[in-house]
Amino acid sequence: MNATATNAPTHTATPIALITGASRGLGKSTALHLARRGVDVILTYRGKVDEAKGVVAEIEALGRRAVALQLDVADSHGFDAFAGQVKQSLAAVWQREHFDYLVNNAGTGLDASFAETTEAQFDSMMNIHLKGPFFLTQKLLPLIADGGRIVNISTGLARFALPGKAAYATMKGGIEVLTRYLAKELGARGIAVNTIAPGAIATDFGGGVVRDNPQMNAGIASQTALGRVGLPDDIGGAISMLLQPDNRWVNGQRIEVSGGMFI
C-alpha cells in the first residue's frame, strides 16, 4: 500500500453499492437507506423481476440511480458472467470501472433439527450462505474500489443456539471467520470488511415465521431487551450507518443488531 492510501474511496464521485438479494426484506431496506444517504445501487434478485423493478423505481424516486441484475448466489458457475454484467452496467450507467460497497445479503432459511438435516439441505445452505459469498466476493474484487467496504450478513444464531438452526448457523459462523480473513488480506487495499448479525426479524424469511406467528413473535420479544422483534429498517439502517465515512475505521468486526436478544 502506498503512503498516501486511505480508508476512503479513491474518487469523489457518488458511491455505488452492490447488494445481493435486494428485491425485498433486509436487502431492500438497505438499498433504500443507502439511497437516502446519496448512494447509487446495483441490486440483485433471483427470480422476482417485478419486485426488483419496484425497488429500482423507489430508488430512482429518491433521486439516485439503480440497476437490477439477476443472480443466483447458490450457483457459483454463473459468477463470471455476473461480474461481466456488473462491469458493463458500471460503464453504461456510471461511466465507471469500480463500485464502492458490497453487501453479501442474499439468503434463505432452514428449520431442521441436526438429526434430521439432509445432505442436500446442508449443501444448499453451504452454497447459498458460505460458498456463494466466498467466490462471489472473489470474482468481484477487481471491481471493488480501493478504500471500499464489504459487509457480510450473519445471524444472532451464530452466538446463541436455537433448535432447528444448526446447518444455517454453521454457515453463518463460517461467514464471520471469513470476514476477519478478508479484513486482514484486503487491508493493503484499504478495504474494510465487517459482519452485521441480525436477530429475529419480521420478514418473509423462513416462511415468515417471526412475522406471522404471534406466539413466536411474543416469545422473541420477551427475550429481547428492547421488547420487540426486529424490523427490516432496523437492519437496513444499521448497514447504511456502517458504510458511512465516519465509520471507516471499523474493520474485521461482528456487529450484532438484535435489540439485545438473549443478553
Percent of the chain with pLDDT over 70: 91
The answer to whether residue 110 is domain-embedded is yes
CA pair distance 249, 31, nearest whole angstrom: 22
Give the lowest-confidence range in 6-20, 82-96, 155-169, 204-218.
204-218
The answer to whether residue 155 is domain-embedded is yes
Give the domain range for residue 65. 16-254
Q: Angle of helix 132-140 relative to helix 166-186, nearest 10 degrees?
A: 20
Residue 233 and residue 240 in contact, taking contact as beta carbons nearer than 8 Å: no
Instruction: Grade residue 210 by pLDDT with cuts at 50, 70 and 90.
Output: low
The answer to whether residue 5 is domain-embedded is no
The answer to whether residue 262 is domain-embedded is no
Among residues 45, 101, 168, 181, the one annotated as catalytic is: 168
Q: How many domains does the chain have?
A: 1
Establish whether 101 is a catalytic residue.
no
CA pair distance 10, 109, nearest whole angstrom: 37
Which residue in the block uniquely carries the three cell numbers 454457515? 171
| Alpha helices (runs of H) in 62-155, residue ranges in sequence order | 79-89, 119-126, 132-140
- The per-residue pLDDT for range 159-182, each reduced to its tens digit, is 999 899 999 999 999 999 999 999
The answer to whether residue 1 is domain-embedded is no
The burial class, CB within 10 Å (0-12 / 13-18 / 19+), for 22 is: buried
CATH number, position 27:
3.40.50.720
The answer to whether residue 3 is domain-embedded is no
What's residue 157's pLDDT?
94
For the chain, what is the largest distance between any 2 Cα atoms, rounded to a whole number of angstroms? 57
What's residue 95's pLDDT?
98
